């Protein structure tokens, strides 16, 4: 049995297999907790009523009877009757799939749908992982447009040439010693135009506002997927 209690086992059977039998047809009429034996009847989709005995030894078809004289129903009843001679089945699913081909089809279809839901949740989970990962890539703050070693060298060359031109024309030449030059002593940033700071400020990466939402969606998707896997595991066992 799937449950430790006979009562819980019988209650589960009466409602868990409606997808593959006549819905609502399962009813318990014997429940002996002392002996650990219970009996219930249900109607298969083929139109055959069966009495099932449940115990610690497993599941057994005690008897069967067709509900009509239809040739298809009578043929199905013969197949079910062959299962009566068996000792017991390990699971209720094995019993029903052996006795009822229509139940087997419904079981496989339902299982396929559940597994497809798991696959869809897995794809959603992987997609959200990628979105979350791409949204948290490190930004390169060292990339500054217009500020390169070549640019510094060019500025220094222009200042030296300017000093040489003043010397040639007889005007006071600017000192070429970088240690005494008032221009070179000033902060490098003071010689940059205001548009540079505006550009660099506007180019700073903004914080990813979607990360918390993406993380929450990813967590919810993972929880849904785990719940569905737990349901399938309990369902087939």
Residue 123, pLDDT score? 87
Does any domain span residue 222?
Answer: yes
- Clarify whether residues 121 and 203 are in a common domain: yes
Residues 24 and 77 in one domain: yes
- pLDDT tens string 166-185: 444 444 444 444 444 444 44
Domains contained in the chain, number: 2
- 198 domain-assigned: yes
Same domain as 123, residue 35: no
Which pLDDT value is given to residue 89?
94
Range 209-229 average pLDDT: 58
What mean pLDDT is reported for the chain? 74
Q: What CATH number is given to the structural domain containing 37?
A: 3.30.2280.10
For residue 118, what pLDDT is reported? 87
Give the model's pLDDT for residue 17.
95
User: Lowest-confidence range among 51-65, 181-195, 207-221?
Assistant: 181-195
| pLDDT score of 3 | 85
Look at residue 177 and tell me if it is in a domain: no
40 and 108 fall within a common domain: no
3-state DSSP helix/strand/coil percent for the chain, to nearest 5?
A: 55, 15, 30
For residue 234, tell me if it sits in a domain.
yes
Same domain, 86 and 200: no
User: For 28-53, what is each residue's pLDDT tens digit?
Assistant: 999 999 999 999 999 999 999 999 99
Q: 29 with 95, same domain?
A: yes
Domain that holds residue 235: 101-134+187-237
Backbone φ and ψ of 4, nearest 5°: -70, -30
50 and 66: one domain?
yes
pTM for the model: 0.57
**Hey, which residues does 191 pair with through a beta bridge?**
none
Q: Are residues 41 and 118 in the same domain?
A: no
Report CA-CA distances (Å) from 88 to 54, 60, 62. 9, 5, 10
Q: Would you say residue 194 has pLDDT above 60?
A: no
67 pLDDT above the threshold of 50: yes
Residue 141 confidence (pLDDT): 52
Hunting for tokens 């009877």 — which residue is that? 65
Q: Mark whether 29 and 116 lie in a shared domain.
A: no
Q: Which two tokens stand for residue 64?
A: 């069967």
Q: Are residues 34 and 63 in the same domain?
A: yes
Structural domain ending residue among the three candidates 99, 121, 151: 99
Same domain, 227 and 127: yes
Edge-to-edge strands of the sheet including 27-32?
Answer: 27-32, 37-43, 48-55, 58-66
pLDDT in the model for residue 207: 47
Query: Do both 115 and 204 map to the same domain?
Result: yes
Check pLDDT > 70 for residue 116: yes
């Amino acid at each position: 049995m799937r449950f430790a209690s006979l009562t819980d086992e019988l209650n589960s059977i009466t409602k868990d297999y409606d997808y593959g039998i006549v819905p609502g047809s399962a009813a318990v009429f014997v429940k002996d907790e002392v002996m650990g034996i219970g009996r219930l009847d249900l109607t298969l989709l083929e139109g055959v009523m069966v009495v099932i005995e449940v115990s610690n030894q497993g599941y057994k078809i005690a008897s069967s009877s067709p509900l009509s004289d239809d040739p298809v129903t009578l043929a199905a009843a013969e197949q079910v009757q062959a299962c009566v001679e068996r000792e017991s089945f390990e699971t209720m699913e094995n019993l029903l799939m052996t006795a009822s081909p229509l139940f087997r089809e419904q079981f496989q279809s339902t299982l396929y749908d559940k597994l497809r839901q798991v696959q869809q949740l897995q794809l959603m989970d992987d997609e959200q992982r990628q979105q979350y990962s791409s949204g948290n890539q490190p930004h390169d703050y060292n990339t500054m447009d217009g500020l390169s070693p070549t640019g510094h060298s060019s500025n220094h060359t222009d200042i030296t040439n300017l000093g040489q031109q003043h010397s040639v024309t007889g005007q006071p030449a600017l000192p070429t010693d970088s240690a005494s030059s008032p221009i070179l002593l000033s902060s490098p940033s003071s010689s940059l135009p205001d548009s540079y700071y505006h550009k660099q400020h506007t180019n700073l990466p903004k914080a990813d506002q979607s990360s918390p939402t993406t993380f929450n969606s990813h967590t919810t998707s993972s929880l849904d997927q785990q719940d569905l896997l737990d349901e399938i595991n309990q369902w087939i066992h």
